[in-house]
Structure 1
Amino acid sequence: MNNFIQKGRTITATLAAAVTSGQLVLLGNGKLPAVASGTYAANAEGEYNTGGVYALPSATNGTAVVGDKAYWDSTNNVVTITAQNNDPIGHFAAPKAAADSTANVRLWL
């Protein structure tokens, strides 16, 4: 296959804001969920993982079971179970209790 570039789980991108390693970002107008592989300054090229399960900061309300949809609240920078005004990022990969401040999320591929 002459046109194959890469598997596509890691994407190189330049973001306007600085990010820290492990931070979830939404890439482009399509709001592709990705996790920063390292810490990058604003306007610096970086590597972002678009697949896998990650422990992410979570809203401390609402419960979820494995397979429930996970959304990103960009205002508070947390995973939530609330779809309204939030972006879908994947599915919960482990149960989440209401008081949990982190949640395991499998990103959309």
Structure 2
Amino acid sequence: MNNFIQKGRTLTATLAAAVTSGQLVLLGNGKLPAVASGTYAANVEGEYNTGGVYEFPSATNGAAVVGDRAYLDPATGVVTATAAENDPVGHFAAPKAAADATARVRLWL
């Protein structure tokens, strides 16, 4: 194939805000969920992973089971099982008790 560029799980992007390694972000207007591969200052090109299972800070209210949808609360930057006002990012990859401060999430591809 002459037009193949890359597998596409890691994308290069420049974000307006600084990010830390492992931080869950939403890329572009399509709000593609991705995880920062490193720590990058605002307006600096960086690498972002768009697939796989990651552990993120989580809201300490609301339980989830494997396969439930996971959302990013843009106000707090944590993963939640609550859909209202939040952006979908994937599915829970492990059970999450209501009081858990972290959650494992499989990103949508």
Paired with 2:98 and 2:63, the residues of 1 have a C-alpha distance of 5
**Alignment partner, residue 24 of structure 1:** 24
Q: Aligned residues, how many?
A: 109
TM-score by length of 2: 0.99
**Alignment partner, residue 33 of structure 1:** 33
**Alignment partner, residue 42 of structure 1:** 42
Runs of 4+ in 1 over 6 A off after TM superposition: none
- The reply on whether 1:78 has 2:70 as its aligned counterpart is no
Deviation, 1:88, is: 0.4
**Alignment partner, residue 64 of structure 1:** 64
**What is the Cα-based RMSD across aligned positions, in Å?**
0.4
**Alignment partner, residue 97 of structure 1:** 97
Paired with 2:89 and 2:16, the residues of 1 have a C-alpha distance of 21
Paired with 1:102 and 1:89, the residues of 2 have a C-alpha distance of 15
The percentage of counterpart residues that share the same residue type is 84
Gaps of 5+ in 1: none
**Alignment partner, residue 6 of structure 2:** 6
Paired with 1:36 and 1:101, the residues of 2 have a C-alpha distance of 20
**Cα deviation digits, residues 21-70 of structure 1 (max 9, x gap):** 00000000000000000000111000000000000010000000000000
The letter of the residue matching 1:72 is: L
